[in-house]
Amino acid sequence: MSSGYKIVLSGSKTAVSDFRHSNWIGFLGCIPSNYPKMPYSREIMENIFFPTQSDDEGRLKFAPYSLRKIEAALLEYGFTKDEVIIADPRKLDRAIGPETKAIGLTVHDPLGYSAVSQLNACLFRLINWWPAPSYTAAAFGDIIKNPLLKRYNSKLIIGGPGIWQLEEHPEMFKEWGIDCLVSGEAESIAGPLFESAVKGEAVLPERAASGKPLRSDKVPIIRGPSTGGVVEITRGCGRGCQFCTPDLLFFGSIPKENILKEVEIEVRHGIRRIELHSEDALFYGRKLGSFEVNHEAIVDLFTSVKKFPGVRQVATDFFACSTIKSAPKTVKAMSEIMELDKKHPGYVETGLETVSPRLVQNIMPGKVKPYTIEEWPDVIDDALGILDDNHWFTVASMMTGLPKETEQDVIRSIEFIDRIKHHNVFVWVFPLMPLRAMLKNAAKWAPEYTPLRQELILKATRHSISLINREAPRILKVLPVWARPPALLALKYVTGMTLHFFKGADEAIARHEDRLNLYKDLQYAHNKEGEAVMHVSSVVNELVKIGGGSTTLLPEEEQNLLQGS
């Protein structure tokens, strides 16, 4: 359509890509964009790992679930398919034209501040490799600087799980050309907001958020297939962890008939593996305010999806350890429905965060329920055992750099990794990120990445990389058969070399050589109250500014910077 669509929804190449309907590949976007060191590495990496499929008009065949929801909300509101497109960022020139009044972008990790990007930045520094901003940040830089976004005076509206990163930089909104930043559940406000933009109302609100939670039976049903075959089954969580954005949403389970309608849409477009998304799949169908697992509702849902004509595989993404421990019978039933076995394990994520009772009490007392805070380490250990027994591999996250975290707490975490590493668990320890929900409590807090914290990050990473090395053949089953042997060689080589480089980092830490000293020396950012809230993300921001958004800062330049020249 040469005149362009009225409303164009899109995102960066890394945010909207679809690699064989596999969502985990997205984490590759979090490595520094100056690696691997080879000519045209960005183009090669983006073309291989962040591909997009679209028609001649630039309409994406598979789009991120969040954009599908906005598309559905706009169509429900009264816009037509001729007015709304989810566009391929590689073909924006075919979707945007003189008729385009509003452009909506979804962002996941626009500035590379996400926990995974930050962990990668830390690790690269620890092995003495200078990290440029992540591929995710570089790709956001590409799209936000695309002159097409503003060529026809379209309004630019941005939403998505990564907007907290942009909110850290209100001073950049003008330069980025952002008219409105939408937080939280956008479906209920997308219609009126885009209508204002389409009508050309002069000023959109700089920030927009839905006033009240959306009832789970009112969440619009997607109209096209999502990347990774995602279908949402619950929204919100209700455990109340202080650092958590999903928890800001009201908890509710999506009615089964609506879930199956979305499954039907995915299947109709050729998707055979459905990923049932939630913050904790074991919370599906639970009563509000209760931590009791609704075994019947879960078994009924998973059975219905697995038996849905055309579905070959059902997966899910998150469990909480406390619910696993309280419901081993349900975990077993789910694994049987999903036909998991030794050769075909399931993969699920869980947040451990910390095992310090004091910190659990401070930031996440609800996470351990129905158990006590003192029981938390045993709950994790038992839950991982239940997952092992039922053929799951667990991807577990912990944090360091929490406010009031002592060296004793860090030692406790190090020892805990030793305790659980016999399980099928990948453990990643993330330097804490400044989520909005935590900003107030984080005031006056500035974590220092002490040798002990560095050791903790390295220990967990070494364990997980070793496990990836060992499990590489199973992990690579997502690839076509012909691609597996070269991919296996590459993965074995990369993981083997990484472990080799970690030895050097270990020795450097033992020599008290502080390879993360930059984090201490740069200026602290300030929150609204003027208090220091420096964290690793601000450092990357400094680097983005200094490096012009994509270039690498050389060690000599770093020295000049630190000396103020």
Cβ closest to ligand SF4, residue 141 vs residue 351: 351
Least distance from C-beta 284 to ligand SF4, angstroms? 14
In angstroms, give the least distance from the CB of 165 to ligand SF4: 18
Q: Name which of 193 and 437 has its Cβ closer to ligand SF4.
A: 437
Pairing verdict, β 230-232 and 273-277: parallel
Q: How far is the CB of 347 from ligand SF4 (least distance, A)?
A: 17
Structure tokens at 472: 């590489």
Alpha carbon distance 180, 197 (integer Å)? 10
Residue 348 DSSP SS3: strand
CA distance 41 to 74: 38
Q: Please tell me the distance from the alpha carbon of residue 132 to that of residue 334, in angstroms, as a whole number.
A: 42
Burial 25-53 (b: 16+ CB within 10 A, else e): bbbbbbbbbbbeeeeeebeebbeebbebe
The two three-digit tokens of residue 223, written as one number? 């109209």
Half-sphere CA count of 420, side-chain side, radius 13 A: 34
Between 13 and 367, whose beta carbon lies closer to ligand SF4? 367
Nearest approach in angstroms of CB 534 to ligand SF4 is: 23
Q: Taking the complex as a whole, how short is the minimal distance between the CB of residue 238 and ligand SF4, in angstroms? A: 7
Place of tokens 């958004």: 549
Helices (H), 62-178: 65-77, 92-95, 115-126, 135-144, 148-151, 163-167, 173-176
Least distance (Å) between residue 318 CB and ligand SF4: 7
Q: CB nearer to ligand SF4: give 110 or 246.
A: 246
CB nearer ligand SF4, residue 317 or residue 409: 317
Residue 91 or residue 367: which is nearer to ligand SF4 going by CB?
Answer: 367
In the complex, least distance from residue 322 CB atom to ligand SF4, rounded to whole angstroms: 8
Work out how close the CB of 251 gets to ligand SF4 at its nearest, in angstroms, rounded to a whole number.
9
Contact 449, 516 (CB under 8 A): yes
- Between 23 and 54, name the residue whose CB sits nearer to ligand SF4: 23
Which stretches of the chain bind ligand SF4, using CB under 6 A?
237, 239-241, 244, 246-247, 279, 320, 351, 364, 367
E strands present in 375-505: 392-400, 425-431
C-beta separation of 108 from 15 below 8 A: yes
| Shorter beta-carbon distance to ligand SF4: residue 240 or 255 | 240
